[in-house]
Structure 1
Amino acid sequence: MGYEHELIIPNEGFPFKLFRFEGKDGHYVREKHWHRSIEIFAVFEGTLTFFINEEKYPLKPGEFILLNSNEIHSVVSPLPNHTIVLQIPMNVFRNYYAQDGMILFTHSPRRQDQKIMELMESMYRDIQIKETGYEWKVQSDFFMLIYLLVTKYRKQEILPEEIRHYRKLNRLSMITGYIRDNYTKDLSLETVAEIFGYSPSYLSRMFQKYARTNYKTFLQDVRVEYGFQELANTDHTIGEIAMNHGFPNQKAFTREFRKKYGILPSEYRKRQKSAMD
């Protein structure tokens, strides 16, 4: 396989991750990768080109692409664009799973496409403005979007080849999901391997092959990303943040933060405060 696995961490306080596409400035290519979450790319300005299991899907303004869990995809963004991305963890759909914990959605256009676009635009705008009670409005729009997905876009019949493909990547997705939910604990490779019935060496090879990284680096990346959220959204000290997210001390958190984001946590906080003044 050799494709990169992406771990989805929701926005703080919400059961999803919503953000502006990082390739908004153009000259951007995201190589083949996969994740357990459902993902929607909604294009409002400019164009994007998706490749899903080698099939090409060009998008223009007013169109979106709906990506299934464990679906290998890449995206090409040669020109500037305004695209909003919504990533929805699979457990949101647990009451609608088919066999093997699967749920699949169609890529084909539907009459409800415009409503999906409107809901995503509204959610993104409200999260940016943060007016009083915005959380309830965003949640309301999100649940309406989920209703449309499960009633209008869900595939009722899943083909045998789709099941086989899903099983290949589902094992590691379940493990990375467990890590995401328990990352503050002492999660050694040996501990996680035992929980899922693998030998440590087999689990290590699984990460190298499917996630293209080693277990320790993956775990540290999860901890740093959650730490980044707390750094950006609270006034907690850097030492407190380090301890809240599984690091032994502030020095260890600072080292991993700089490695991932190219800046010290203290410097990031200074820039954030300057931007608000």
Structure 2
Amino acid sequence: MDLKNYQHEVVVTDEGLPFKLFAFEGQNGNYVREKHWHRSIEIFAVWEGRLEFTLQEKRFPLNGGEFVIVNSNEVHSIAAPDVNKTVVLQIPQDTFAEYFTDDQFIWFSHGDRETDHRVFTLLQEMYLIYTNGEEANKLQVLSLYYELLYILVTKYRKFNVNEEILKNSKQLKKLSNITRYMKDHYAESISLESMAEQFNYSPSYLSRMFQKHAGINFKDYLLGIRLEHAVRELEETNGQIVDIALGNGFPNSKAFSNAFRDKYGVLPSEYRRSNE
């Protein structure tokens, strides 16, 4: 499969939790998310409205009360032509490490109607409790989350997987290992050269690998990870902007501000004021 037009998405879990749970950014309609992939397992649950999903070139229309599971390294795109209410749960693939096959692979699909209904209900309950904002609710959300993991492993895990699916996953595995390392060490001094040495590639080969499979160059990918963490600190802490910059791998506050403005259209200070 030619992946040169597919972009790799950076997934960062919520603070203090082993997953990321959020309202779909295309909820206002007239939205298209082009083909992309990520290491995490992702579940889209549509409460109201409809979405048009494409998984590995196959279309899956979703209506209210339905959900779809996106597996690790599965190329997908999303179209939301109309207003909708959709919740997204992203689970790091390594959550299921002890259930991997010999190929370091795991795949999920839907179960029976009753089990699907329970999964949909779990996602609803998790989101409603999670967005209530009370710290003590975190434990309740986690209890629902672990029930969901149990269902995925015992009811939805598939052992007989199409060979083409396995081949495509292996194609992205090398890059996923590199991007995982970058997500773990983004605050450190990382360069193309140091990463190439870490994974026994030449810098030019690693650069081509990023451009071909992630659809983005190495520098911009690393920048995206750092900005993702920095944005969360701007929203959730009162830290000084210079400290946020240095704590997330930027050499100084000026470099951080320039990168932030290029991506979000405003300076970090302006973004923070607008979210107060």
Q: So what's the TM-score if we normalise by structure 1? A: 0.95
Aligned partner of 1:193 in structure 2 is 196
> Any idea what the Cα deviations from partners look like across 1:45-67, whole Å, max 9, x if unmatched?
00111111111111111100001
Aligned partner of 1:170 in structure 2 is 173
Match of 2:57 among 27, 30, 54: 54
Q: 2-side partners of 1:172 and 1:82: how far apart?
A: 33
Match of 2:160 among 134, 142, 157: 157
Q: How big is the alpha-carbon RMSD for the aligned residues of Structure 1 and Structure 2?
A: 1.2
Give the CA deviation at 1:107.
4.2
Q: 2-side partners of 1:227 and 1:10: how far apart?
A: 13
Give the CA deviation at 1:100.
2.0
Q: 2-side partners of 1:239 and 1:164: how far apart?
A: 45
> Any idea what the Cα deviations from partners look like across 1:15-61, whole Å, max 9, x if unmatched?
11111111101111111111111000000000111111111111111
> Any idea what the Cα deviations from partners look like across 1:193-246, whole Å, max 9, x if unmatched?
111111100000011111111111111111111011111111111111111101
2:50 alignment partner AA:
T
1:261 alignment partner AA:
Y
Aligned partner of 1:38 in structure 2 is 41
Match of 1:241 among 239, 244, 259: 244
Q: Secondary structure at the match of 2:22?
A: strand
Structure 1 runs, 4 residues or longer, greater than 6 Å off: none
Q: 2-side partners of 1:17 and 1:108: how far apart?
A: 23
Match of 1:130 among 133, 148, 153: 133
Tell me if the contact between 1:67 and 1:107 (Cα under 8 Å) persists in the aligned partners: no
Tell me if the contact between 1:17 and 1:87 (Cα under 8 Å) persists in the aligned partners: yes
Give the CA deviation at 1:130.
1.5
Q: So what's the TM-score if we normalise by structure 2? A: 0.96
Q: Secondary structure at the match of 1:140?
A: helix
> Any idea what the Cα deviations from partners look like across 1:85-126, whole Å, max 9, x if unmatched?
011111111111112211000146542111111211122122
Q: 2-side partners of 1:235 and 1:151: how far apart?
A: 43
1:187 alignment partner AA:
I
Tell me if the contact between 1:43 and 1:63 (Cα under 8 Å) persists in the aligned partners: yes
Aligned partner of 2:120 in structure 1 is 117
Q: 2-side partners of 1:34 and 1:109: how far apart?
A: 27
1:228 maps onto 2:231 in alignment? yes
Tell me if the contact between 2:10 and 2:224 (Cα under 8 Å) persists in the aligned partners: no
2:51 alignment partner AA:
L
Tell me if the contact between 1:258 and 1:265 (Cα under 8 Å) persists in the aligned partners: yes
* Identical residues among aligned pairs (%): 49
Tell me if the contact between 1:39 and 1:85 (Cα under 8 Å) persists in the aligned partners: yes
Q: How many pairs does the alignment contain?
A: 273
